[in-house]
Amino acid sequence: MLKRLPYLCVLSLVLAGACRAPQGASWSQGDALAAESVELEMNASGGVVAIEYHVTPELVPESIHAAMNELHPGGRVVAGEREMAGGELYWELSKEIDGREVEVMFRLDGTLASEEIEVAASSVPEAARAAVDALMDGRVTAWEEIRDGERNLVEYHAKVEASGRRFKVAVGADGAVRSVVREVPAEIEVPVPMTRG
């Protein structure tokens, strides 16, 4: 569990009545029905700021597969997503390469938006590791480098298990904690269109 929390904690959770589309984006019943699972990111007011539809990789356009293979050749594709965030639609592909996961978000035109690359704890700056250890009373299960569309390092994410719960801590290389989210399992009920005949 958290040792101390001097800033806002955002929960990734679905609350009745709080589920609305990210501003400027549209999403539909059909999107949810085509998904294997759905992940929502909330703001402190309970509004949905991002929604990820986890889909089979075959549903991701071939141009996105080609862009992924150019950036990260080899490995095998293990997951796909259609994500709406900040009023924009993105495609994501995840690959397992040499035993580590690489998740890449692309704009619709195939240009790079961001990358999450699993890394060894030993490659994470000591200040970042120390900040997470000081904040969380739990076990770090994975570290990721977060890179922007220019492939510049933005921050690190530590995935933490504490008291039977899962958290993600965003921290800078200098040890500045930027956010903490709790990953909460949720059930989403989507009506299925009924046809007669």
Span of 41-50, 54-63, 98-107, 163-172 with lowest mean pLDDT: 41-50
Average pLDDT, rounded, for the chain: 86
pLDDT (mean) for 9-32: 47
SS3 77: strand
CA distances, 117 to each of 43, 53, 60, 136, 172 (Å): 25, 20, 20, 22, 15
The confidence score (pLDDT) of residue 3 equals 52
Task: Answer yes or no: is pLDDT of 137 > 70.
Answer: yes
pLDDT tens-digit map of 159-173: 999 999 999 999 999
pLDDT (mean) for 67-88: 95
Q: Residue 95 corresponds to which tokens in the numbers above?
A: 């690959």
Q: What is the residue type of 155?
A: E
pLDDT band at 122 (very low <50, low <70, confident <90, very high): very high
Domain 9-183 has CATH 3.10.450.360: yes
pLDDT (mean) for 85-97: 94
pLDDT (mean) for 83-106: 95
DSSP 8-class letter at 58: G
Phi, psi of 39 (to 5 degrees): -125, 130
Q: Would you kindly state where each structural domain of the chain is located, as residue ranges? A: 9-183
166 Cβ contact list (under 8 Å, min separation 6)? 159, 160, 182, 183
Task: Answer yes or no: is pLDDT of 11 > 70.
Answer: no
pLDDT (mean) for 109-135: 97
DSSP 8-class letter at 136: B
Residue scoring higher pLDDT (49 or 101): 101
Task: Answer yes or no: is pLDDT of 81 > 90.
Answer: yes
Task: Answer yes or no: is pLDDT of 18 > 90.
Answer: no
Question: pTM for this structure?
Answer: 0.83
Residue scoring higher pLDDT (21 or 80): 80
Span of 26-30, 81-85, 145-149 with lowest mean pLDDT: 26-30
